[in-house]
A and B are shown apart, each in its own frame.
Chain A
Amino acid sequence: MANKLKLSLSPHVHGGDSVSKNMRWVIIAMLPAMLWSFYAFGLGAVIVTAVSVASCVFFEWAINKFILKNDKCTLCDWSAVVTGILLAFNLPSNLPLYIIIIGALFAIGVVKMTFGGLGCNLFNPALAARVFLLISFPVKMTQFPEVGQMAAYADAITAATPMANLAKADLLSLFLGNVGGSLGEVSALCLLIGLVILLVSKTITWHIPVSILATVFALSGLLHIAYPVEVATPWHHLCGGGLMLGAIFMATDYVTSPMTAKGQLLYGFCIGFLTVLIRVFGAYPEGMSFAILIMNAFVPLINNACKPQRFAKEVKK
């Protein structure tokens, strides 16, 4: 035997799961929505996505190399690409390049790397960047091009988002994605396909998306029964705006969501609750991003409060 023996404690085998594998599954799950956005918004969507991904990857590499002087390559875990796509999903397809780059810098530089990189950030980078841009560039961030302008980018004709008057929107177009909106959020159908991919590949568990969607459905349903004219139907609430995108891809972000099933259900419930509150009673037509960010801040508390069911300690019903 030529080589020295290795010594370590058990276990001596590994399941073969890896960070990059999980991230790649997330990317695969995002593909349907991404392709739909290319189909719906044409050239603009391609440009926004490409710039967002490229700048996220660049900032991650540059910060690692020049500021942190870290030799380890963190690009191979694909998390910067995921952030890039998610950021693009949250932007309108006619957004000027410099705004996208500022958003990417904020997402990677401020929200992610200052806390120590992947795994240490408190808030979802893409979402925090979206909110940052929304507050900094409120006009540009809320003018969404109409669907079907294949060759248009900055010159695309815009229209009001269906969220401004959700009750009047056509439900089928909301479900399929034939409406204006951010790149990735328009097609509920494509996002649901993504959810199936994530669940089948065991990348995420059902707890967060299901609890968010169920809460939104139930609460908006109650409000709709109480105020049938002012409040849209629960179906509109489920399919409209960033709800699906948030519930499936944003709230389920590993790093910024709770660690236990119980905690995840609570987290999902609170997000759904806040979203409906902001949508129905708040000044913003869309509340998903705020709801998730607010709940991100509560995750450490939820982790402390919601312990998994220990062996031999039956849950008291």
Chain B
Amino acid sequence: MSTILIAVIALGLTALVLAAVLFVVSKKFAVEEDPRVGQVAEVLPQANCGGCGYPGCAGFADACVKAGSLDGLMCPVGGQAVMTQVADILGLSAGAAEPKVAVVRCNGTCEHRPRTAVYDGAVSCKIAHSTACGETGCAYGCLGCGDCVKACKFDAIRMNPETGLPEVDAEKCTACGACVKACPRMIIELRNKGRNGRRMVVLCVNKDKGPVTRKACEVGCIGCSKCQKVCPFEAITIANNLAYIDYEKCKLCRKCEDECPQHSIVAVNFPARKPKPVENSES
């Protein structure tokens, strides 16, 4: 009996002393933190992807609270919905932002872009990029080693073994921009998702002169500026032998698509209108 008593008393005393120590320590060394940081962090997606430009969601929450205004702060993963919640907590107004999606601006599939060489080095686009212009004659197009796939934390990009090109799953893509940074050729761009996911894109970033581009790839933009002339909204600019569609100005009229002699301009997620191949969607 006394053994049990001694054990109970001894353990109880130990517990009491330790509890006291813990209590004192927690009071004495408590870190002052704005409680709103925790609240904001709670509504964030906790993906810790760094897409916002801050080290993880906690860092972003801290920045939101300290900033005093939400201008320029955007959680690409949570998007507008999360930012509105954050704004509510902080009593601020969230800046409006169009949802975006990563777009791979290269359509140089094995069919369109003949392979002229075989890359035999380490599987990394960055290394392939420094080796030579790549397996094809195009010095601007996709290298196909999948650096973007490795960079994506949301499993939103996959390599299509048939085309040799990465494909973005628009549902999963959070527009965090990791793939944009990973691509050594700056092929991937974050563009507005567009109404019903519809968008017009120049699927090419080749800046070579027309004949050189044409030799390397069947669907490369040659900078002929036909699209620019036909565009009623001045959404298309030509620079360095390359057309670019400004997604803010584009009204999705599809005139440029018909005009493009190289079929570099592709309409995505539009209903089929003619028995014309619209197979080149990037999603």
Contact surface of A with B, Cβ cutoff 8 Å: 4-9
The smallest beta-carbon distance between B30 and chain A, in angstroms, is 36
Cβ of B118 under 8 Å from chain A: yes
In the complex, chain B residues whose CB is within 8 Å of the CB of A8: 119-121, 131
Q: Which residue of B lies closest to A12 (CB)?
A: B120
Closest CB in chain B relative to A19 CB, distance in Å? 18
Query: How far does the Cβ of A269 sit from chain B's closest Cβ, in whole Å?
Result: 37
CA distance A87 to B47 in the complex (A): 46
Q: Considering residues A6, A7, A8, A9, which has the most beta carbons from chain B within 10 angstroms of its beta carbon?
A: A7
Are B130 and A6 closer than 8 Å at their CB atoms?
no
Shortest Cβ distance from residue B164 to the other chain A in the assembled complex, whole angstroms: 14
Q: Does B97 contact A (CB under 8 A)?
A: no
The answer to the question of B117 belonging to the interface, with a C-beta cut-off of 8 Å to chain A, is yes
Minimum C-beta distance from A89 to chain B (A)? 38
CB of A299, distance to nearest CB on chain B (Å): 26
Among B115, B117, B131, point to the contact of A9 (Cβ < 8 A).
Answer: B131
Q: Is the CB of B135 within 8 A of A9?
A: no
Q: Which residues of B contact A (CB under 8 A)?
A: 115-121, 127, 130-132, 134-135
A4: chain B residues at CB < 8 Å are 115-118
Whether B132 contacts A7 by the Cβ 8 Å rule is yes
Q: How far is the CA of A7 from the CA of B121 in the complex (A)?
A: 7
What residues of chain B lie closer than 8 Å to A5, measured between beta carbons? 116-118
Alpha-carbon distance between A4 and B121 when the two chains are bound, in angstroms: 15
In the complex, which residues of chain A have a beta carbon less than 8 angstroms from the beta carbon of B134? 7
Contact: B135 with A7, CB < 8 Å? yes
Give the CA-CA distance A183 to B72 in the complex, in Å.
Answer: 72
Q: Give bound CA distance, A316 to B116, whole Å.
A: 54
The 8 closest A-B pairs by CB, nearest first: A8-B121, A8-B120, A6-B120, A5-B117, A7-B132, A7-B117, A4-B118, A7-B119
Shortest C-beta distance, A298 to chain B (Å), equals 31
Closest to B133 in A: A7
- Minimum CB–CB distance for B120 against chain A, Å: 4
Cα–Cα, bound, A9→B117 (Å): 14
Residues B130 and A9 in contact, CB atoms below 8 Å apart: yes
Indicate if the CB atoms of A9 and B121 lie closer than 8 Å. Answer: yes
Q: A6, B131: Cβ atoms under 8 Å?
A: no
